[in-house]
Amino acid sequence: MKYVYFIGIGGIGMSAIARYWKFKGYQVAGYDRTPSELTARLESEGIPVHYEDCPDMLPPDKENTLVIYTPAVPESLGELRKAKEEGYLLVKRSRALGEITRGQHCLAVAGTHGKTTTSTMLAHIITRHGGGCSAFLGGISRNYGTNMLLSDSSTVVAEADEFDRSFHQLHPEIAVITSVDPDHLDIYGDYGHVVEAFKVFASQVSGTLIAKKGTPLGPEDTPARFYTYHYTDTGADFYAASQHADELGRIHYDLHYPGGVIRDFYAGTPGWINAENGLAAAAAAISFGVEPENVREAISTFEGVKRRMEVHYNVPGTVFIDDYAHHPAELGSTISALREIYPGRRITGIFQPHLYTRTRDFADEFAKVLSTLDKLILLDIYPAREEPIPGVSSQMILDKVTAAEKVLVKKEELLDYLSREPLDVLVSFGAGDIDRLVEPIAQMLKDRQ
C-alpha cells in the first residue's frame, strides 16, 4: 500500500487518522464537503484536500490504495460509489482505527459523554510520564494544539466512539467507560441496544476496565479486572473526597484509589465535570503503571479541550464560553458546572440542536435541562447527515421550555440579536456549525466593550 485516500477527511476523527498515515510515510489526500480550520491545518501539513465531489481524484493505482470513509458521507457521493464499484480496498474510519491499534498497547475511553476530555487528559498524562503515545482524540487539545499526538511509542490512546457501533473495532488493554446514556437512537432503536453495545465493548477489554459507578456494567461483562470510579460515591474503587474549589474554579480533592491516596489532586481546568473526568483519566493512568504523583503533576497542567467549556471572552461583568454539548445529559452537566463556577450570575444559553432524530427522541429532556438557564436562545436544528422529519423542529423544544426568557432566533440573525442583549454569562452549545459563530460573537463582545 502506497496511498491512503479519505472521503470526509475534515472530520475530527478522520483528520487524526490522516495525520497518522502521513506520519508513517504514506501519500495522503482526501475530500471534504466544506473547508474548515481542520482542513486548512491538513493542507498546511502537506495533505491535499479538495471540496468538490470528483471521483477522478481517487488515486488511479487502486491496487496500492486504501480508501477510508466516514459513515457521515451519503451513499450517493460519487467518490464513494466509485471506490465501491471499482474494487478499491474500502474501510470505515472505525475499522481503520481498529487496525492501527491492533498489536499495540491500546488505552481507550468510551462513553456517551465525557470521553473526549477524559481521553485527552489520559493522553497528556501518558505523554508527560508514561513513555509517550500516539493519540486519536475527538477534540483539539489546548496543550498540544491538535487532535492527533504522534509517537514512536507502542502505546495508543483512542477515543472509542459508540456511534454506528464503531468502538466494537477496538480491543483495548485498558478502557474507561464514562457514561451509558440513551443516544444515537436512530442507530440503536432503544436504550437496551445501547447498553448491549457497551457490554460488547466491555467484553473486548483484555486488562483493566474502569467504569463510572452507576452505569449498567459489572465484572460479569468483561474478562478484564473491573474497577469503578465516582466523583462523590465513596463506595467506588477510585473516588474523590474533601472537594473544594479554588479562586479559578478548579476543584481540589483527595483521590482515593486501591493503592492509597493522592492528596490535593486537581485538574488545570475549572468545574466539577473536569474534576470527574480527571479522576477517570487518573484511574486509567495508574492502572497503566504511571506513578500516582506523576499523574497528579500531569493533570494539574492540563489546559483543556477546544469547545469543552472553552472561555473565549472574560472581563468583569461578561463571560463567553463555548461548549460542544449536544445531548441532554451533557447540557445538564455543563450548566450545573457553570452554576458552580459563576454562582448568582445570569446565564444565557445559545443552543443549536443537532440532528432531527435526536431532537425528536429527546425533546422533553432537552426542554427540562434548558429550562435551568436564565434565558434560552434557540437556533434551528443542524441536520448533519439527516433529511428533515415532518413535524420535528426546534419549536418542539421551545414550546416545552419553562425558563423565564426564551426565544427562537435564525442563525444569520444571532449576532445582531446578541448585540442588543444585556449579557452576563453567555454560553453557546452544539455539535453542528455553531462553532463558526464563536469568533464573531467574541469579537462583537470586544467591540462593544
The C-alpha R_g of the chain, in whole angstroms, comes to: 22
Whether the pTM exceeds 0.85: the reply is yes
Is residue 358 a contact partner of residue 385, using CB atoms and an 8 Å limit?
A: no
What is the per-residue pLDDT across 23-74, written as a single tens digit (0 to 9) for each?
A: 999 999 999 999 988 999 999 999 999 999 999 999 999 999 999 999 889 8
pLDDT score of 127: 98
- Alpha carbons 258 and 294: distance in angstroms, whole number: 17
pLDDT score of 114: 93
- Average pLDDT for 122-126: 98
Question: What domains are defined for the chain?
Answer: 3-92 (3.40.50.720), 102-300 (3.40.1190.10), 310-447 (3.90.190.20)
What is the per-residue pLDDT across 128-173, written as a single tens digit (0 to 9) for each?
A: 999 999 999 989 999 999 999 999 999 999 999 998 899 999 999 9
Q: Please state, rounded to an integer, the average pLDDT across all residues of the chain.
A: 95
pLDDT band at 76 (very low <50, low <70, confident <90, very high): very high
- Alpha carbons 5 and 10: distance in angstroms, whole number: 12
What is the per-residue pLDDT across 209-261, written as a single tens digit (0 to 9) for each?
A: 999 999 999 999 999 999 999 999 999 999 999 999 998 889 999 999 999 99
Please indicate whether residue 184 or residue 379 has the higher confidence score (pLDDT).
Answer: 379
Is residue 291 a contact partner of residue 326, using CB atoms and an 8 Å limit?
A: no
pLDDT score of 326: 94
Please indicate whether residue 386 or residue 53 has the higher confidence score (pLDDT).
Answer: 53
Cell 434551528 identifies what position? 380
Q: DSSP letter string over 250-297?
A: PEEEEEEETTEEEEEEE-SS-SHHHHHHHHHHHHHHHHHT--HHHHHH
pLDDT score of 448: 84
The secondary structure of residue 387, as a DSSP letter, is: P
